[in-house]
Structure 1
Amino acid sequence: MKYSVNMHRFLPLFVFFFVFIGWSQQVTVLDDETNEPIPNVAIFNPDKTKISITDFDGNFDVSVFMDEDRLIFKHISYELKKATRLQLIKNDYKIHLVMKPERLDEVVMSVSKWEQQKKEIPNKIVSLDAQTIAFIAPQTSADLLQSSGKVFVQKSQLGGGSPMIRGFATNRLVLSVDGVRMNNAIFRGGNLQNVISIDPFTIRNTEIIFGPGSVIYGSDAIGGVMNFYTKRPVLSQKGDSQISGNANYRFSSANMENTIHADINLGKKKWASLTSFTYNDFQDLKMGSNGPNSYLRNNYVRTINGEDILVPNEDPRKQITSGYNQKNFMQKFLYKPSVNWDLNIGAYFSETSNYSRYDRLIRPSRDGDGLRSAEWYYGPQKWFMGNMQLKRKGNGKLYDTFKFTVAYQHFEESRNNRDFQDIILNTTMEKVDALNLNLDFENKKIGNFKLYYGGEFINNKVGSQGSDTNIETKGTTEAASRYPDGATWKSLAGYINGEYKAKPNFILMSGLRYSHVWIDAMFDRTFYAFPFEEADVSTGALTGSLGFSWFPKQDLQITFNGSTGFRAPNVDDIGKIFDSEPGSVVVPNPDLESEYAYNVELGIQKNFKDKVVLKGATFYTYLVDALVRRDFSFNGLAQIEYDGELSNVQAIQNAAKAYVYGFEFGLDAFLSDHWSLASNLTITEGIEEEEDGTNSPARHAPPTFGDFHLKWKNEKLTTDLFVNYNGEIAYDDLALSERSKDYIYAADTNGNPYAPSWYTLNFRSQYAFTNNLNAIVSLENITNQRYRTYSSGIVAAGSNLVVGFGYHF
């Protein structure tokens, strides 16, 4: 009896408790990119009679709002978001906010390898975040760089993309993934396509440094540095496991692309796993209909019953044999035993199919009546990286935070070519094993002075083999390799970089680095009677930088930076044998030294009441002891027989100086809450000066290029109507090495090769059906222009419909 009385007494409390549970519901506000909670988000109804704030874990109690209330989510760093209680219930009481682009730009990592305020850095840096990348939906990471409007990209084939920054390219730029440089001992002066190994679906942020970055990145960082930071595993914010992920599909009509991507994140309290996979299938690319007829693919080579036949192309706009496929895989683990320790482990793998070197397949034969090559293709381009990074935060005497990074990379590529009606297929296979060790420290405890310092060790070993295969008998014999097999390239360096806030509106940055490089190569004299047996190079370089960021007014910023950069010769410079152009062969030259660049740049940015932002920069770079390809003698001979042809002998030499200068302009205008404008313009001039005092245009100075965007955006729909344009490069302004490639250029009124100007009109859109499902629809090159970007072998896509879907769970 007493028991029932007590139950009767507490029954109202139980009823109240269950009613409270039914009506009191915690909602979590998360970052759309990182899936991490966002504290201090204000939530209110339209008349602001009810207000709530998220706690440290991103939670708030939705029960204070009525069912019919439309909730508004506001945070200074994020886009405004609106949702009803019903929508929150459908999304499992979670809502994601998208960070504002201008907030994402505030912090960058590339200049010191640590987070710094962008406004305090004197270097020009362009940052592209995951939200922007998803909207652009690029086919490759090369296309991503080009879409920035600030980087020029050359393509010799569809499976390619060689960036040019401030008149420099290929092995005078550094390519980095998660802080580990991809540049290896065989990065060449010719066009490179290693950037396509980086999966754009996995990129969290891309940062591009303009100008020398040798203080932090060492050799090769003369024109700039391109850093790709990939997505990170996300820990669970609660005790239970949390699973999230993405699924994407993309179609492109110009090359009948089909791309699928999926990633999944498993988060626990102290560890997390992120797994990603992408598969791309690209068919032959179709060019536009309005442009030079000389660009058309009128015929191609087919091999029928063992015989090469030149056949007409039924659709001359279709660039036969340009298609290929690619797969990318990434696995990451994060272990965080405490707030002060992080252990990140990652594995990355990329592999292409065979893909044609398209510009070689359209070379005319020596008599001009046909095509020179029956086959010319790259074997699968493979890249593997395994890295481990240990990070500790604390208050040590010599540092506040340190990072230790160890990475192993394996690169593999091959070149396969056979002349028309020749039965011998020549193959050269290259493999590089690279070990990178980095130790980086950050110290913030010296008043207004911040110190960054560290060391680096790199070891590359090159494997190179050559073979000839008889396509009729299938027999294989040994042939000359492209590089000396077993050659090594090593580098040991130490650096120190400082940031001093002299005044609240004046920040100084300065740094020094010493690098030492060793090369050891033994030359096989089986196929060529080299006048030397070994290359033994030991060279050092001291580089530095000094710059400032000054705000004379709150809405005006002036930056200045003076810096030096260097590039030490690598195995490609010293030991390569290849046909550089019709009738020429490059031979090894072990007597090389480093080239040095001296750079100054001045930038200005003016903000007009947060409505219009104007940006401008000018730069000048002087390159001495430039490593360039020039005529040479081999055993006293100016010509030797190579691949069955008497060829002029050339070699890489410290034989020139170069002057590169230019101007960069930018405009951002915010017309209303929905409308905005953006535009970029880059003007670059480059001159190479020979030892005899003669001048010629620099090969990697691109034409004037830019873009103009008109954007409209609301909560669900984002659109972008834009124009891309390139200026002309006349015959007199064309580099001497480019003039001999008249088959990739149009002809002027005098019959000389030149690069015509061109423009494209484009439209891009993205629509969010829900917080989890979105779609992109884009129409590129609406007017169907037929054009080649400067120095490119392949013609760009004609009118191109892009459709994509993305689902987040």
Structure 2
Amino acid sequence: MFPTLFLLLAILDGQAPAGDDVDSTLKQGQEAEVEEIIISGRRRTPGFLLSRSSLNLEDIPESQIGIARNVGDLMDQVPGVHLQRTSYGQVSPFLRGLTGFRTLALIDGIRLNNSTFRSGPNQYISLVDPWMLESAEIILGPGSVLHGSDAAGGLIHMTSRIPRPGDGLGESSSFLQRLSSAEKSSISRYEYSAVTDDHAIGFGFSYRDYGDFTAGGDEGEQPETGYQEWSGNFSWVQDLGDDFSFEIVAQSHRQEDVPRTHSTIFGSTWEGLTTGSDLQRDLDGERDLLYLRWQKKHGPESASRLTVSRQQIADEEDRVRSSGVRRLQGVTTEALGVSWDWFGYSDLGPLSSGVEWTHEGIDSFFRQYDSLGNLDSVRPRGPVADDSTYDWVGAYAQQVLEVSDDWTLNLGVRGTWAQVDAEKVDPDPSDTEIFDPVKEDWSSVVGSIRAIHDVDKDMRIYGGLSQAFRAPNLSDLTRFDAASSGDAEIPASDLDPEKFLTAEIGAIFETGSSEFESVIWVSSLDQLIVRFPTGDVNSDGDTIVTKANSGEGLAHGWDFRFRSELENDVLLTGAASWVTGDLETPVSPGVIEEAPLSRLAPTLVRLSLEKRFSDRFRLSGVVTTADRQDRLSPRDLSDTQRIPVGGTPGYVVLDLHATYLWQQDLEFFASLTNLTDEAYRIHGSGTNEPGANLILGFDIQF
């Protein structure tokens, strides 16, 4: 009944989710051995989702869900995922040392990523309501063949909770309420569904109100950190007969006045951090998604799916500089997409394939007002080039070969073509510095090969090679906007695509009631697009930066997880992750130095112990430790609003969680997080974490 998180390490021939046979059949054909984690959404999924990688099921204890207030909080509990928070409403997950546009986020198989995503951490995954999700798959390592050539660090695939015909007949409603002391937050969620044998309707609404939170230690209340957001969703699924179905899904999300506090005079001075000079810097965010989907089963082992979608993402920044000058700017991206997926069998075994097309239209604006509120200037463009388009076409195929009873080989290939057309690149055509229009296209073919060997019934080893390719996007080529703390970015039109090659080898071992997994990986990074200072300063005193392709780089790491069911209904889980990497980085015009990757995650270890006292009551404790991170890139060293001089201190945090099922349809939950009131922040973030915090809530169905 209450939200459950799943770390899924499932066998390839596991049971598929009930209620969506076509999706299940398609997924079975796409399974490929990579390290994957699945987070389930608000209620336990009937059956187990299939993993692309591993042997066994691992649950994050059900009692721990109460700490999650957004998608980022869910992912922060996952080993191998490093979560950066510019603010609590602006989170960006790092997967294997990469983030932003080098990881790919999907919602119901539709790209959340678009061509305006900027370099480094961005906030757009925060425009997804976690309480409307059925699950979120986190695939560590390239997911390029099946999902998109730009999924270099990994893939986050979020799946909406959609009622299906015949699945729990009748009408039902639910209401969830969550309150938090240190966060000073309130979250409310209402859902309704009506299900018959041939159709199902569902809708939901969420509202969140966040106050100025209280940080740990002596930091106290953090001013100008509160904001509001709300979201809604609707779905209708119709069974058309003959194994044919149609669905229409709509989602809408709004964020209002989300502060970027670190760049303002209200920023923290913890551990010697410097504050910004802005008097205000708030962002509004919007996401609207509408898609139509037709699904058809062509027999017990073949299925296809056609999806037509429209997604609009918009953000607007309201920034007041120290002089009182106010700047309003924003970007709206409308993405129209069509995709077709098919799964069946060839003479060699399971075969999956598909084609995808996305067309983006981008509008942007910029207006500046003087300190008295009078309109001072209007640029012909905003943060990225106005009246621009970006087109993306992909086609993929994957063949699974059962070489023998204990050897499986997965071969995949994807072709990608991308084109940008940007006319209004120059922010000021009247000055002497000219920025020409940009029209370019790129194409590439990437592949993957993976082998899985069942050594015996208790042990499996796997390994493989995967490529990824990311074409320069509109932000790379045309951005004229603030970058990192105290930086101002200018366009760079002469850029080449980024290329990645990742090798990994892992093993999964089971003994008795315990399961273990360990994986080692290494990624070759070639021609990464990185920022560097030009040596100039603008009229606001900001360092002007531009972009160039880097030289070669290498990232590598290790992940470990275990799960052990002890006596007396006690569950012990643990995880550890380590990542490092270096890159030949331009540090000034014509000068390249080898330096660490930006915002490398520290070594992380997490242990959890849960006791189930009965079917109604669960209690768990979690300890999380992070090492000091002092391997800093040149841009990290200059980002003193977010990273203390000398690096981000390590920390040890203890949390307690409990759930109690009072009646069949009413569950209470409670958490005590950061029990020792530790003052800490996740490396690279623009804000500290809350101090000692009490979370209370309930989930009722009626």
Under a length normalisation based on structure 1, what TM-score does the superposition of the two structures give? Answer: 0.78
2:129 is the counterpart of 1:199: yes
Q: Which of 621, 626, 638 is matched with 2:528 structurally?
A: 626
* CA distance in structure 2 between the partners assigned to 1:508 and 1:800 by the alignment: 48
1:48 maps to which residue?
none
- Secondary structure of 1:433's partner? strand
Q: Which is greater in Rg?
A: 1
- The within-5 A match list for 1:514-533 is 514-522=415-423, 523-524=425-426, 525-526=428-429, 529-533=432-436
2:172 is the counterpart of 1:244: yes
Unpaired segments ≥5 residues, structure 2? 45-59
1:738 maps to which residue?
636
- Secondary structure of 2:263's partner? helix
* CA distance in structure 2 between the partners assigned to 1:661 and 1:102 by the alignment: 22
1:221 maps to which residue?
151
The one-letter amino acid of 1:639's match is D
CA contact (8 A) 1:108 1:207 kept: no
2:464 maps to which residue?
561
1:156-186 CA-to-partner distances (Å, cap 9, x unmatched) read: 1121211001010111000110110100011
* CA distance in structure 1 between the partners assigned to 2:65 and 2:551 by the alignment: 40
1:573 maps to which residue?
476
1:324-351 CA-to-partner distances (Å, cap 9, x unmatched) read: 1110100000001225111111000000
CA contact (8 A) 1:289 1:784 kept: yes
CA contact (8 A) 1:687 1:696 kept: yes
Task: Please say which of residues 769-778 and 101-110 is displaced more in the overlay.
Answer: 101-110
Q: Which of 1, 20, 28 is matched with 1:116 structurally?
A: 28
The one-letter amino acid of 2:565's match is F
Q: Report the CA distance between 1:475 and its aligned residue.
A: 3.7
Q: Report the CA distance between 1:613 and its aligned residue.
A: 0.9
2:277 is the counterpart of 1:372: yes
* CA distance in structure 1 between the partners assigned to 2:572 and 2:526 by the alignment: 40
2:222 maps to which residue?
319
* CA distance in structure 1 between the partners assigned to 2:384 and 2:307 by the alignment: 30
The 3 A distance-change label for structure 1 pair 516 and 108 is farther
Q: Once superposed, what is the RMSD of the aligned Cα atoms?
A: 2.8
- The within-5 A match list for 1:26-425 is 106=14, 114-116=26-28, 121-130=32-41, 131=44, 135-137=64-66, 138-236=68-166, 242-289=170-217, 296=219, 317-361=220-264, 362=266, 372-378=277-283, 380-395=284-299, 400-420=302-322, 422-425=323-326
- Secondary structure of 2:74's partner? helix
2:491 is the counterpart of 1:588: yes
2:56 maps to which residue?
none
Q: Report the CA distance between 1:606 and its aligned residue.
A: 0.6
Q: Report the CA distance between 1:395 and its aligned residue.
A: 4.0
The 3 A distance-change label for structure 1 pair 373 and 693 is closer
- The within-5 A match list for 1:363-762 is 372-378=277-283, 380-395=284-299, 400-420=302-322, 422-444=323-345, 446=346, 449-475=349-375, 477-479=377-379, 481-522=382-423, 523-524=425-426, 525-526=428-429, 529-581=432-484, 584-609=487-512, 611-632=513-534, 638-639=535-536, 641-642=538-539, 644-645=540-541, 647-672=542-567, 674-690=569-585, 694-713=593-612, 714-730=614-630, 733-746=631-644, 752-762=645-655
CA contact (8 A) 1:627 1:656 kept: no
The 3 A distance-change label for structure 1 pair 100 and 530 is closer
Q: Report the CA distance between 1:452 and its aligned residue.
A: 0.3
CA contact (8 A) 1:719 1:766 kept: yes
* CA distance in structure 1 between the partners assigned to 2:476 and 2:7 by the alignment: 45
- Secondary structure of 2:186's partner? strand
* CA distance in structure 2 between the partners assigned to 1:100 and 1:741 by the alignment: 34
The one-letter amino acid of 2:438's match is A
CA contact (8 A) 1:107 1:117 kept: no
The one-letter amino acid of 1:325's match is Q
* CA distance in structure 2 between the partners assigned to 1:659 and 1:364 by the alignment: 33
1:533-556 CA-to-partner distances (Å, cap 9, x unmatched) read: 210111111110000111110100
- Secondary structure of 2:476's partner? helix
The one-letter amino acid of 1:375's match is Q
* CA distance in structure 1 between the partners assigned to 2:366 and 2:452 by the alignment: 52
Q: Report the CA distance between 1:200 and its aligned residue.
A: 1.3
The 3 A distance-change label for structure 1 pair 473 and 496 is closer
Q: Report the CA distance between 1:471 and its aligned residue.
A: 4.8
2:669 is the counterpart of 1:776: yes
- Secondary structure of 1:161's partner? strand
Q: Report the CA distance between 1:416 and its aligned residue.
A: 2.0
Paired residues in the alignment total 666
CA contact (8 A) 2:506 2:518 kept: yes
Q: Report the CA distance between 1:203 and its aligned residue.
A: 1.1
CA contact (8 A) 2:478 2:493 kept: yes
Unpaired segments ≥5 residues, structure 1? 1-31, 35-78, 80-97, 291-295, 297-316, 633-637, 747-751
Among the aligned pairs, what percent are the same residue?
20
Q: Report the CA distance between 1:658 and its aligned residue.
A: 2.0
The 3 A distance-change label for structure 1 pair 370 and 766 is closer
1:437-477 CA-to-partner distances (Å, cap 9, x unmatched) read: 11101013x35610001101011111110001235245464
CA contact (8 A) 2:357 2:393 kept: yes
The one-letter amino acid of 1:373's match is D
Q: Report the CA distance between 1:135 and its aligned residue.
A: 4.8
* CA distance in structure 1 between the partners assigned to 2:7 and 2:153 by the alignment: 30
The one-letter amino acid of 1:787's match is Y
* CA distance in structure 1 between the partners assigned to 2:469 and 2:207 by the alignment: 37
CA contact (8 A) 1:628 1:656 kept: no
The 3 A distance-change label for structure 1 pair 621 and 199 is same
CA contact (8 A) 1:107 1:116 kept: no
The 3 A distance-change label for structure 1 pair 364 and 141 is closer
* CA distance in structure 1 between the partners assigned to 2:73 and 2:11 by the alignment: 21
2:52 maps to which residue?
none
Q: Which of 675, 686, 698 is matched with 1:805 structurally?
A: 698
CA contact (8 A) 2:563 2:573 kept: yes
CA contact (8 A) 1:349 1:382 kept: yes
* CA distance in structure 2 between the partners assigned to 1:584 and 1:693 by the alignment: 19
CA contact (8 A) 1:169 1:700 kept: no
The 3 A distance-change label for structure 1 pair 200 and 582 is closer
2:54 maps to which residue?
none
* CA distance in structure 1 between the partners assigned to 2:682 and 2:500 by the alignment: 27
The 3 A distance-change label for structure 1 pair 276 and 717 is same
* CA distance in structure 2 between the partners assigned to 1:371 and 1:515 by the alignment: 41
* CA distance in structure 2 between the partners assigned to 1:789 and 1:370 by the alignment: 18
2:55 maps to which residue?
none
The 3 A distance-change label for structure 1 pair 236 and 614 is closer
Q: Report the CA distance between 1:116 and its aligned residue.
A: 2.7
1:592-613 CA-to-partner distances (Å, cap 9, x unmatched) read: 111000000001011002x111
* CA distance in structure 1 between the partners assigned to 2:487 and 2:225 by the alignment: 26
The 3 A distance-change label for structure 1 pair 363 and 276 is closer
The 3 A distance-change label for structure 1 pair 112 and 598 is farther
Under a length normalisation based on structure 2, what TM-score does the superposition of the two structures give? Answer: 0.90
* CA distance in structure 1 between the partners assigned to 2:422 and 2:6 by the alignment: 51
The 3 A distance-change label for structure 1 pair 286 and 107 is farther
1:217-240 CA-to-partner distances (Å, cap 9, x unmatched) read: 2242100000111111132469xx
